[in-house]
Structure 1
């Protein structure tokens, strides 16, 4: 009987190890020496347990069987989880609005990992399908350098008076209207404004925020002033938000001393809290659920190869991230014309050219690859 059990488990162990090693290699998960150490550990445990099954002592045989079963189970479950994880990453990287998945070679991925890149975060003011064309009320540029662990979040007010690219025909209007022409209109508008490249975007709506925060088990933020919005109360100090309350907090501007600008700063606070939670060990329990939600509720053109490499880089280096932030300064005006709504008197936020220049320089200093370079983009001048 022992001979049959040892033979059966031995075959299972061999198959499980081959599959596990192949999956680690195929997805390039962990650095090479880490893969070798992990596989050697499993191999040693398996061999010791295999020989222990044949031991005359009954207790030793039983313990050895349990150890071997545990090693086989762990490697099998890990293999399934890895395949499932990267399958989800593949679904995440399929852009919306009928676009094809972005193709990118390994050298470009490695370049972005080493030198950094920008991601445009667009929050549209709708529930339901992300394919809906709508105003982009949240406009942030997240600049990251995975090599150094440095990040920078730039908030651009929704009412910023800028030249709208593509469907806006390079005419002046408030930034939020660029969303009506599609996400790339917003991207090209901001590239022109700051003289940078923004290769990637992530587009979310109200449902996205609710489901992501709930999947994280809530987030913690510091709220400087107590206030209430309808039946939702926010205490002063450290507070915990679930998905619904996070959305209420993100949308409020009537109870913020700085109005729309203060709301923009709150968006940065919420984003930082989400990033901190995603980088904490607590995320492991809900990682797959979170990725499934993001695959359904986040539109992005980030290729699976880049997402994979980012995860590998974080797992191998354990980088401690440090995020700074800034908001473009300016002044509100009611006398500037709107291209999309020429017969309406709208509130516009005229940007301070020095603030735009300063933030553009900060983004470019974080990573040389963020410069517009040969794209021919140039920072626009502020209208008078």
Structure 2
């Protein structure tokens, strides 16, 4: 009998230890989650950039929230303080995301695209929307670029992220690199002016420095169209990698890099909400779009869009954003 009593008392202790372990685990998860949230929100206070227009595009009747289809303009800036240059976007990408069907569309805008730049009141290369505005009035380059892209495509740009090349390299390295498929062998000089990097045809795993060279090359073959396709290839992979669980273990490094190298008008809370909502977008639901045009040499090289091309692509993006489309593009149906 005494033995049975002791056994019963031992059995009653087991659930207590189990509950204690569970409590410690839950507390640990909560504390770790709070730590991540605290650091994320703190880091994003360093990245926050308030646009003069406020929190709403002039092409919106009201501001969007994380439940709406939204657009994001990504600017990869060739910014070199050592050369005392204001910098210019080497990468211009518009991303639209729709929560209803968990889909995304990615458009790379060739940097030499000839278009009207409202801030300077004339046509020029689209990447000059940043540099010329900065020279004219420091601190206006981002807003000028956003306005120029909005006018070109006739869509609202709800959010933007401006990242310099150092940030691009650091974030890719932190995420463990990217896997690409090199269409044709080529070489490209490293961004820092160092050695040439050689890319063999076929599958390749690239670190940050190599990935930057990969998305910047355009002279050996493919021109802007080839470069834009490589940019979309890398961005699509980063979207998926950035939302993966393994990225959480590197959150401190990612946060540190963001704080040093990124400006954006997305708050930490909004970014976390977007991550939860769009982190599981299937690869097959990410569509790449292209602007068709021709390289033309005038006083310098320009990319001239085909007639009606900006409106065609703009309509695709409008539909994805659940906005009314226009119907003035000549489809060739009329005789």
Measured against the shorter chain, the TM-score band is: 0.7 to 0.9
Counterpart secondary structure, 1:253: coil
Tell me the residue number matched to 1:234: 199
Counterpart secondary structure, 1:144: strand
Counterpart secondary structure, 1:353: coil
Counterpart secondary structure, 2:127: helix
Asked whether 1:243 is paired with 2:198, we answer no
Q: Which has the higher strand share?
A: 2
Please say if residues 197 and 371 of structure 1, whose CA atoms lie closer than 8 Å, have aligned partners that are also in contact: no
Aligned pairs for 1:245-264 within 5 A:
245-255=210-220, 257-264=221-228
- Larger mean Cα displacement after TM superposition, 323-332 or 275-284: 275-284
Instruction: Report the Cα offset of residue 122 of structure 1.
Output: 1.2
Instruction: Report the Cα offset of residue 233 of structure 1.
Output: 2.2
Tell me the residue number matched to 2:72: 119
Instruction: Report the Cα offset of residue 77 of structure 1.
Output: 2.8
Aligned counterpart for 2:297 among listed residues 312, 334, 340: 334
Q: Which ranges in structure 1 are unaligned for 5 or more consecutive residues? A: 1-54, 336-344, 373-377, 380-384
The 2-side partners of 1:201 and 1:370 are apart by: 22
Task: Give per-residue Cα distances to partners, 1:153-190, cap 9 Å, x unaligned.
Answer: 11111111111121x12x11111211111011111111
Structure 1 residues 368 and 227: CA distance shift in structure 2, 3 A: same
Please say if residues 253 and 259 of structure 1, whose CA atoms lie closer than 8 Å, have aligned partners that are also in contact: yes
Instruction: Report the Cα offset of residue 119 of structure 1.
Output: 1.1
Asked whether 1:325 is paired with 2:288, we answer yes
Tell me the residue number matched to 1:152: 105
Instruction: Report the Cα offset of residue 364 of structure 1.
Output: 0.5
Counterpart secondary structure, 2:249: helix
The 2-side partners of 1:370 and 1:236 are apart by: 43
The 1-side partners of 2:281 and 2:223 are apart by: 35
The 2-side partners of 1:369 and 1:313 are apart by: 20
- Alignment coverage as a number of residue pairs: 299
Q: Which runs of 4+ in 1 moved over 4 A?
A: 55-59, 61-68, 99-104, 369-372
Please say if residues 78 and 87 of structure 2, whose CA atoms lie closer than 8 Å, have aligned partners that are also in contact: yes
Name which one, 1 or 2, has greater alpha-carbon Rg: 1
Aligned pairs for 1:66-145 within 5 A:
66-92=21-47, 94-95=48-49, 111-127=64-80, 133-145=86-98
The 2-side partners of 1:196 and 1:122 are apart by: 17
The 2-side partners of 1:351 and 1:157 are apart by: 10
Tell me the residue number matched to 1:36: none
The 1-side partners of 2:89 and 2:116 are apart by: 15
Aligned pairs for 1:31-42 within 5 A:
none
Asked whether 1:176 is paired with 2:127, we answer yes
Q: Which ranges in structure 2 are unaligned for 5 or more consecutive residues? A: 1-8, 57-61, 134-140, 189-194, 330-335
Provide the aligned C-alpha RMSD in A.
3.2
The 1-side partners of 2:174 and 2:211 are apart by: 13
Counterpart secondary structure, 2:66: helix
Structure 1 residues 252 and 370: CA distance shift in structure 2, 3 A: farther
